[in-house]
Amino acid sequence: MRCFISITLPAEIKRGMTAIQGSLRTSGADVSWTRPEGMHLTLKFLGEVEEKRVPKIEAALDSAANSIGAFSLSVSGMGTFPDIRRPRVIWIGLKEQGNNLIRLQRSVEEEFNKTGFSPEDREFTPHITLGRIRSQKNVEKLLSLIEKLRDVELDGFDASCVYLMQSQLRPTGAVYTERYSVELQG
Task: Return the CATH number at 70.
Answer: 3.90.1140.10
Active-site pick, 20, 127, 163, 166: 127
Identify how many contiguous H helices and E strands the chain contains and give both numbers. Answer: 4, 9
- List the chain pLDDT tens, one digit each, 186 residues: 999 999 999 999 999 999 999 999 999 999 999 999 999 999 999 999 999 999 999 999 999 999 899 999 999 999 999 988 899 999 999 999 889 999 999 999 999 999 999 999 889 999 999 999 999 999 999 999 999 999 999 999 999 999 999 999 888 778 999 999 999 987
DSSP-derived secondary structure for 62-129: HHHHTT-B-EEEEEEEEEEES-TTS--EEEEEEEESSSHHHHHHHHHHHHHHHTTPPPPSSPP--EEE
- Whole-prediction pTM: 0.93
Q: How far apart are the first and last CA of the chain?
A: 30
Query: In the annotation, is 58 catalytic?
Result: no
Active-site pick, 9, 40, 112, 162: 40
56 three-state secondary structure? helix
Our count of domains for the chain comes to 1
Query: In the annotation, is 40 catalytic?
Result: yes
Residue range(s) defining the domain that contains residue 107: 2-183
Q: What is d(CA 106, CA 110) in angstroms, rounded to the nearest whole number?
A: 6
